Amino acid sequence: MNIFIFTLLLMFTAPAWATTYQAKQGDVLRIPAPIQGSNLHVQAFNKSWPIYQKNGQYIAWIGIHLNTKPSTYDIQWTSGNSASVNQVLDKIEVQKGEFRISHITVKKKMSSFDKKAIQRIRADQAAIKKAYKTPVNIHNSWPAMIWPVEGIISTPFAAQRYVNGHARSPHSGLDIAAPLGTPVKAPLAGKVLLVSNMFLNGTLVAIGHGDGLTTVYAHLNKALVKSGDIVQQGDVFAKVGSTGRSTGPHLHWGVHFSGAKVNPKSMLTLNNILQP
């Protein structure tokens, strides 16, 4: 066979070349499917991710956990059935997300805890974990979010936290400074999973949005909803406060996506689809 024709044939029969995407810890990537067909499925970081349709294109949303080690990871696409399987591997190159440092000074009882406080903190954490794992029968056709409040970001996502000079876990959400009582809007339709008064988080609301997406709001002055309520995008469900371990009125906004703590900023509407 003529080498030219052979090369041409290869070009048309070989699977799509794998694409390498660049990402930072905490990013949510929107990646177009490199293959078509029935049973389209995508896996990365040992789990499946939801695929949405936009302008006729299939797009996977993949969350990169805050604690993901900087390295290169596979995105495995499959479609078809046992008789004929299509498979393509894309790659994600993950880099460190945030280098900023955040120091706060709080009352001693809010930085070194007695036995009773530790018990309460543990119970609070267990309640939040339970909310993350609660399946929610809601499907948003494209789960892009709007800001829950407008304000100044006082502590970025993933900043290294120091409380009274002691290193703590990286900041798992976004702190948005806003005046006391500012209405907090649901960034996306969902179901209220938890309303609770917590030791460190103060008044906290967790909302499930389906497809493994949960958002949490802490240090609220007031919750205007109860567990089980349904909210639509833009509905006011709480007011900004400074309850729990807080140094002034602000909203702590956290997003959890299928076990990954992700940057709320990367869920916003304006975030674009990546091109291979």
CB 86 within 8 A of CB 79: yes
DSSP state of 264: G
- Which residues contact residue 243 at a Cβ distance below 8 angstroms, ignoring those fewer than 6 apart? 197, 202, 203, 219, 220, 221
Nearer to Zn ion, 47 or 100 (CB): 100
Within 147-176, the residues that bind Zn ion by CB under 5 A are 173, 175
Nearer to Zn ion, 30 or 171 (CB): 171
User: What is the spatial order of strands in the sheet that 51-54 belongs to?
Assistant: 28-32, 57-63, 51-54
Q: Give the residue closest to Zn ion by C-beta.
A: 252
Side-chain half-sphere of 265: how many Cα atoms within 13 Å?
16
Stretch that binds Zn ion, among 113-121, 204-212, 231-239, 246-254 (CB under 5 A): 246-254
Rounded Cα distance, 185 and 100, in Å: 28
User: What's the closest the beta carbon of residue 156 comes to Zn ion, in angstroms?
Assistant: 10
Nearer to Zn ion, 107 or 226 (CB): 107
Concatenated DSSP letters for 236-248?
A: EEEEEB--SS-SS
Within 250-269, the residues that bind Zn ion by CB under 5 A are 252
User: What's the closest the beta carbon of residue 239 comes to Zn ion, in angstroms?
Assistant: 17
Stretch that binds Zn ion, among 94-102, 114-122, 247-255, 259-267 (CB under 5 A): 247-255
User: What's the closest the beta carbon of residue 25 comes to Zn ion, in angstroms?
Assistant: 17
User: What's the closest the beta carbon of residue 41 comes to Zn ion, in angstroms?
Assistant: 35
Tokens found for residue 137: 């029968």
Tokens found for residue 167: 């290193």
Nearer to Zn ion, 30 or 250 (CB): 250
User: What's the closest the beta carbon of residue 171 comes to Zn ion, in angstroms?
Assistant: 6
Contact residues for Zn ion, defined by CB under 5 A:
173, 175, 252
